[in-house]
Structure formats: C-alpha cells, structure tokens
Amino acid sequence: MAKRTLRKIEPVPFTQVSIEDDFWAPRQKINRDVTLNVQYEQLKSTGRLDAWTWKAGEPNQPHIFWDSDVAKWIEAGAYSLALHPDGQLEERIDAYIDAAAAAQEPDGYLNSHFIHVEPEKRWTNLRDWHELYCAGHLIEAAVAYYQATGKRKLLDVMCRYADLIDRTFGPNDGQMRGYPGHEEIELALVKLYRVTEEPRYLKLAQFFVEERGRQPHYYVIEAEQRDEKTKQSWVGDFSYNQANVPVREQTEVRGHAVRAGYFYAGVTDVGAELGDESLVQASKRLWNNLTQRRMYITGGVGPTHQNEGFTIDYDLPNESAYAETCASIALIFWAQRMLHVDPRRRYADVLERALYNCVLSGESLSGDAFFYTNRLAVYPPMEPFTPGGVGARRSDWFGCACCPPNLARLLASLGGYVYSKSEDALWVHLYVGSSVKLQLAGQEISLRQETDYPWNGQIQLKLWLNKPARFALMLRIPRWCPKARLLVNGEKVALGKVTSKGYARIERKWHDGDKIELLLSMPVERIEAHPKVRQDCGRVALQRGPLVYCLEEPDNGPDLNDIALPSGSAIEAEFDPDLLGGVVALTGEALRRDEDAFGKALYRPVGTDYRMIAFRAIPYYAWANRELGEMLVWLNAMV
C-alpha cells in the first residue's frame, strides 16, 4: 500500500524528550513511583491481572472490559520503562504477557471474558460488548512495550489476534460487516500498521471507519440474530456509538464522549495515512462543532451521566457536569492528530486546555486517587440526591476503571506532545522545561527549553549544533496570550510579521549556542461564556495563562454561589510554595450578601446589603486535595 500521508508534521517521540521542569517532572516521578504501583495492586486485588488463568467458580469473574484496564497500565509501564528502567515493573508486565500468550486460542482469539466465561458468545454483540475495544488497547500496549523494550512476545500475540480479526471482519463473502460498539481499535490498528508495515492492518482500520453507520445497519442485523426485540442502543439510538450515519455525513458530535474522541482520532489517522481528504474534512467539521459549542472551559467534554456524553449545543451544566477524564484524554489524542494534518494553534490550544485542567484534575496530587468525572461546581450536601453523585472526593479505584490507567499512560508519554518536526522546522507546541534531540537539517540538533510555565510565561530556548544550519523554529503563541515578545540572541523579532496560524516562524541560519526568548504575558482574565450557555449567563470564570481557576470552601467558606465578583476589581496573582504543592493563587475582593439581614425569611424584597470579602482562587486541577467542601468555577459577575 503506497503511502499518501496527509500529515504535514510528525511528533517527536517522547523517548527523545527529557522533561526536567518543576511542574511536570515531579508528576511523572509520582506516576512512576506511586501511581503505577497502586494501580498494579488494584489490578491484582480485583482479579484483572489473573483473568487469563481464571476458572469457573472462582471469585473475580473476568468482565468484558477488564483486558483494556490492564492493557493501559502495561502501556503506561512501557512508556515509563523506555526512559526509566525498572526491573520489578518489567517482571510484572512480562508475567502478564506470558499468561496472555498461554491463554490465546489456536486461531489467535484473545479475550479473557469470552475465553473463560461465555465462549459461545464470541462476536455476537459488538454493539454493547467490548471485544474489539479490548483488542485495541492490547494492541497499543503491545506496540508500546515492543518499542520500549524490544521484546516481541506481546506484539506477536497481538499480530496473531489482529490477523484473526482481519479474517473475521470485512466486506468480502464469509466475513462479518461489523464494527466495534466502543471504538478504539481504529487508532490502534494504525499504530500496529506503522510498526509492522503490514498494510492489512491499515485496511482493516479503514473498513471499521468506513462501514460504521451504513445500511443495512449491522447492529440491527446482529440484534435480530440474537432474537432481541430492542434493535437500538440502550440509550435510544445509534448516535450513542457514533453509528447513526457514516462519518462523512455526521455534522455534530453525539453520543458517548470517550467513544467519540477515540473514533475521531482514528478517523483522522486513517484519513491521514490513506491521503483521504474527505475523512480529514469530516474530522475538522466535527472538531469545530465540539470545540465551539460543546466543550467546557476546562477542556472537559460530555455534560451528562445519562449517556456519559453529549446532549445539544451549548448545554454545559456545571454541578451535574460529567466531563469524564477519559473523554478529555481522548480529546488530547484527537487534537494531536488534527494538529499534525493541519498545523494550527487552535488544536494545540485545546490540547493544552484539556491537559492542564480537566485531565490533571482527574488525579490527586499524591497520585493515588482519581476522578472519573470532573465537575465545575460541587455542593457536597447534595451528594446523596444527585444522580451519579457530585464527585466531591476522588476514589482510589472504580468498578469501571478506565480512567486511572489512561491518565498514567498519558503522563508517562507526555514528552511526545511537546515537539513536532517537519522537513525544515522544529515545532514547539507546549512550553515545558525539557531537552530534545532530533535529526534536522542533516545533523543531530539539541534544544533545551527552560521555563516556570504555567506559573509565568518566560520561556528560554537554547540550541546546540555541530555546524551552522538553516531551518525554522515554530513557536506557538497561545490565543489566551494578549501580548508576546520574541528575542533571538537579544534582538527583538517583530512577531506580527512572522506569525501565521498561531505559530511564529523564525527561519534563519542557526549557530551553536543561539538563544531564543519568548515572553508570554499572563494577565488574570475574566472569561464569559456564549449567551446560549444558559448555565453561565451572568457569570465569569477566572483564567491565567493555560490555567482555569476555581474557588474552594477551605479558602472562602461555604455558600460559594453567593459570592459576586465586581467588574474591574483588582485581582492579584502570587506564587505560594506552601499551597497545594506550590501554585499561583489569585486573590482579590468580592461581595457577599448579609445573611443576617434575612432573619427567618426565606424570601424578601431586594435590598440586602452586601459586604466586602477577600477571596482566593486556586488552579482548577488542584481542587479536592484538602478537606471536603464546595467548589465553583463560574462566579456571579456584578457590573
């Protein structure tokens, strides 16, 4: 299969990037030292790690999605091992791989639930069950582990499984025209194709993308084969699985948010690899709908627990927000793929927004507790009465444990999101203290990035070259930044003349030791939502740089919804090393009504006196790391 890729830039692999700052490097260390270990213990105690050897009558019967939980943990472990060898971690992963290989059926099939619990039901309910989803995550784990360690055992196991899936599904006589109810395998097959160069895997990914939503509808066909009266999905229609119509006909993101993010990332991958502009255009159309009408200010997506996903345009409730951690991680995957086919700031800005806010909120600062959902307002006394709970406390694990290992694999591979390269340029998407080495302009080039981002916008980059070379540095100028300055070796560069699509292009003959200084202003901004976001009318959110802020009860007392922020009042930003591991907090004055003026009255004519109070706001990602209390992102605005 001839390569016709539409990718204009390629990510610099995380293995070529060393993160060395005071913000992300400690989080990666906690991920290695704490998170991977506590997740191993949870996977072990719940039976997931021993699912391949389970026998009838034993406890911990394998569930239909358990293999995916372990696969993501293996993938996270592989990324960690690639940069930080760990004999114990590698032994644990190898033991699981040995068990999986021994359990694999002669034809290549590999799913712990359907091998041990319901073997007669293999491939009978793609709509609701997770066979292809689990296969996708195991494929990603196999690719990552092979690339990290050079060990092929799991890769070979998954190639045999992928070969079986390829024989089973497709448009030819004797094949099933089915596709996964929970998408993921599409992007996994593209990864497998890239590492093996086997074109059948890319063609299979294309089939899963192209067949989805076509008539006669496969989910109806398989439901009839099961003698099932209800042909539609349990939530009402096939938009839950993004299978209502073929992807080229879709105009809005619908259904389950995680499935949507994974699917559209896979669509973008397939379109890019095949040179299919129509698939990329479909991705762009859906991206615009999501980010312009259906995304929280935190980068969260999916407002309701009913379908763990989308409702209608501009429906973004705060106290009942679902905003699953996995959904924002899937959004990051999609954003990176869009960025590489269409290198524009808007994709990297969304990637950054989701990363620093919703995704980071999904894990405690200690690395051992997790949010499944990430709400934008929390009132703990309502927890017993709110469907799904209000999510005021992180949990150490979940029955559906997709989010914790998903976070672990993203954090372990974070370096792969910082830089990209093209034939004549090195692109800097994220401002993270780090070093990178790559081949460019005919030689190995090293760049070191030093910054205290996200606490301030001062970024310094230094180049090391064996000999002078001409190429371009592409530096993202975030949309949130109202004013930026750029200097090369102390000489000012006119940003307006060199910036296009949100990236400043500095092209010149570079020399060893050249220095670039980028100064991004970070004022505290009051942000308002579109008037159609009814839940936020008359309210403002606070943002500084990439970080969204919130008020918490430990700093401001209860009844946060009665606090009003006067227009134009001063807000100060100051780093507090003793607060939540060291954060820039925002402080200022706001107004509260005088509760005593109400007496015993529940209602009274307007006329209550306000009193001035001091408030403190913290980065949203850091909330719920102290005592239980209220939290609020959108504040009343007083004109």
Judged by average pLDDT, the poorest of 201-210, 243-252, 504-513, 593-602 is: 593-602
Q: Assess whether 410 and 433 both reside in one domain.
A: no
Catalytic residues: 308, 402
- Give pLDDT, residue 626: 95
Q: Assess whether 137 and 197 both reside in one domain.
A: yes
Q: Is residue 8 part of a domain?
A: no
Q: Assess whether 155 and 301 both reside in one domain.
A: yes
Instruction: Give the phi and the psi of residue 497 in degrees, each rounded to 5.
Output: -85, -20
pLDDT in tens, 350-386: 999 999 999 999 999 999 999 999 999 999 877 765 5
- Give pLDDT, residue 235: 60
Q: What is the number of structural domains in the chain?
A: 3
Mean pLDDT of 185-214: 98
Token reading at 529: 């939502």
Q: Is residue 15 part of a domain?
A: no
Whole-number percent of the chain with pLDDT over 70? 97
Q: Do the Cβ atoms of 453 and 432 come closer than 8 Å? A: yes
The Cα diameter of the chain in Å comes to: 80
Question: Is 2 a residue whose pLDDT tops 80?
Answer: no
Distance of CA 435 to the CA centre of its chain: 23
Host domain of residue 615 = 524-638
Question: Is 91 a residue whose pLDDT tops 80?
Answer: yes
- Give pLDDT, residue 236: 66
Question: Is 477 a residue whose pLDDT tops 60?
Answer: yes
- Identity of the residue numbered 602: L
Domain-terminating residue out of 364, 389, 414: 414
Domain-terminating residue out of 459, 489, 520: 520
- Identity of the residue numbered 159: C
- Give pLDDT, residue 1: 46
Q: Assess whether 373 and 235 both reside in one domain.
A: yes
Mean pLDDT of 496-510: 97
Pick left, alpha or beta for residue 102 (phi over 0 → left; psi -120 to 50 → alpha; otherwise beta): alpha
Q: Assess whether 196 and 258 both reside in one domain.
A: yes
Instruction: Give the phi and the psi of residue 163 in degrees, each rounded to 5.
Output: -65, -40
Q: Is residue 5 part of a domain?
A: no
Q: Assess whether 505 and 492 both reside in one domain.
A: yes
Give me the helices (H) in 131-198, please: 131-149, 153-168, 185-196
Q: Assess whether 449 and 547 both reside in one domain.
A: no
Three-state DSSP class for residue 411: helix
- Give pLDDT, residue 380: 87
Q: Assess whether 568 and 447 both reside in one domain.
A: no
Q: Assess whether 441 and 399 both reside in one domain.
A: no
Q: Assess whether 443 and 369 both reside in one domain.
A: no
Q: Which residues contact 554 (CB under 8 A, 6 or more apart)?
A: 626, 627, 629
Q: Assess whether 451 and 403 both reside in one domain.
A: no
Domain-terminating residue out of 388, 414, 440: 414
Q: Is residue 2 part of a domain?
A: no
What is the domain-level CATH number for residue 176? 1.50.10
pLDDT in tens, 236-267: 689 999 999 999 999 999 999 999 999 999 99
Mean pLDDT, rounded, of the chain: 95
pLDDT in tens, 260-292: 999 999 999 999 999 999 999 999 999 999 999
Q: Which residues of 260-269 are buried (b: 16+ CB within 10 A; e: fewer)?
A: bbbbbbbbbb
Question: Is 234 a residue whose pLDDT tops 70?
Answer: no
- Give pLDDT, residue 115: 98
pLDDT in tens, 427-437: 999 999 999 99
Q: Is residue 151 part of a domain?
A: yes
Question: Is 389 a residue whose pLDDT tops 50?
Answer: no
Q: Is residue 12 part of a domain?
A: no
pLDDT in tens, 515-559: 999 999 999 999 999 999 999 999 999 999 999 999 999 999 999
Q: Is residue 419 part of a domain?
A: no
